[in-house]
Amino acid sequence: MSAPASRVLAYFKIARFDHWFKNVFVLPGIGVAIYADEKLLDGPWFINAIVTLLAVGFTASSYYVLNEILDAPQDALHPIKKDRPIPSGLVNIRVAYVEWLLLGAAGLLLAYWVNSAVFLVALSLWLMACIYNIPPLRTKDTPYLDVLSEAINNPLRLLMGWYCTGIEVVPPASLVAAYWMVGAFFMAIKRFAEFRRIDDPSRAAAYRRSFGHYNEERLLVSITYYAVAFGLFFGIFLLRYRMELILSVPFIAGFLAWYIHLGFLSDSPAQYPEKLYRQYGFTAYAGLTITVMIGLLFVDIPIVANIFVPTITPASP
């Protein structure tokens, strides 16, 4: 490939269009909203969903460009990320900042086309990129807050899916919290895999400031916390809104356990979520788990409610 072509391609690479698969986290918001109000099916929800997915994609790509710009000095210290376009000198930083703003504007305009609620959530997603990346806040450098502030993008995607249907009520807080915690679970395992990959505490701290505090034990403790918190919040959601989902718990537990296993692999794929599809067994199992959950959301199984009916009621005053 010629040098000019390589430079043009570099600007596409820093936008990480291959990460758009994460937009699937929008879809459960759409599904649960339609489950909550089936009359939404008569509205333009499908077109709105397509535009919302594009809005999330462009807003997220804006996020990634900013991340690539501000992380370049640290990426140069990473055994793999040092070959990214900006540390390699293939990108003009001023042009990259223009790209960041244009992608963000495209995402926000598309979100505004859908409705004001989707726009406000997309704006929150864009602002979280600024909080996460730009000093002096730069939560990316603060232990635990780095994971929680990036993982909040998960419930923001859920909210964009929820509101793109035209629904006017807020989603269940338990579902939003569960989404946040499972996002933190994924992110903490990514940190764990990165820390193990570098295998040198001083180099790890130079690459990512929060690694000056983290070690394997602390990261594993945090992973356990996020997994348990997700389970509790999801349990609250299913008990209040859809008892049938209790049958999905063994599948979800298997999914979480398998993801932890991936975090321990040499050069773990958890470091590169965009490449997880290459883990064919895991991908197939994830698809099965999602299919089971969607089925349980819309198929009534009365015996489940009978089995799990409360057997102890509070005494009347």
| 98 lies in the same domain as 155 | yes
| 9 lies in the same domain as 144 | yes
Q: Give the per-residue pLDDT at 75.
A: 73
Domain membership of residue 22 (yes or no) is yes
| 10 lies in the same domain as 134 | yes
- Least confident residue range of 82-86, 127-131, 208-212, 260-264: 82-86
Q: 6 pLDDT band (50/70/90 cuts)?
A: confident
Whether residue 3 has pLDDT greater than 70: no
Q: How far apart are CA 53 and CA 47, in angstroms?
A: 10
Q: Give the per-residue pLDDT at 316.
A: 57
| 260 lies in the same domain as 227 | yes
Q: How far apart are CA 291 and CA 299, in angstroms?
A: 12
Domain hosting 247: range is: 172-301
Domain membership of residue 312 (yes or no) is no
Joined together, the tokens standing for residue 203 give: 């180099």
Chain centroid, CA 198 distance in Å: 24
| 139 lies in the same domain as 185 | no
Contact 16, 100 (CB under 8 A): no
Domain membership of residue 314 (yes or no) is no
Whether residue 5 has pLDDT greater than 70: no
Measured N-to-C along each axis, helices 27-36 and 153-164 cross at an angle, to the nearest 10 degrees, of 50
Q: 317 pLDDT band (50/70/90 cuts)?
A: low
Task: Give just the sign of the alpha carbon dihedral 309, 311, 315, 316.
Answer: positive
Rg (CA), the chain: 21
Domain membership of residue 114 (yes or no) is yes
Chain centroid, CA 26 distance in Å: 10
Q: Give the per-residue pLDDT at 82.
A: 74
| 154 lies in the same domain as 187 | no
Alpha-carbon distances, residue 132 vs 71, 104, 119, 142 (angstroms)? 11, 15, 20, 10
81: domain CATH number is 1.10.357.140
| 31 lies in the same domain as 123 | yes
Domain membership of residue 311 (yes or no) is no
| 162 lies in the same domain as 181 | no
Q: Give the per-residue pLDDT at 142.
A: 93
* Domain endpoint, select from 145, 169, 193: 169
| 89 lies in the same domain as 13 | yes
* Domain endpoint, select from 119, 144, 169: 169
Q: Give the per-residue pLDDT at 206.
A: 73
pTM, two decimals, is 0.89
How many structural domains comprise the chain?
Answer: 2
| 137 lies in the same domain as 51 | yes
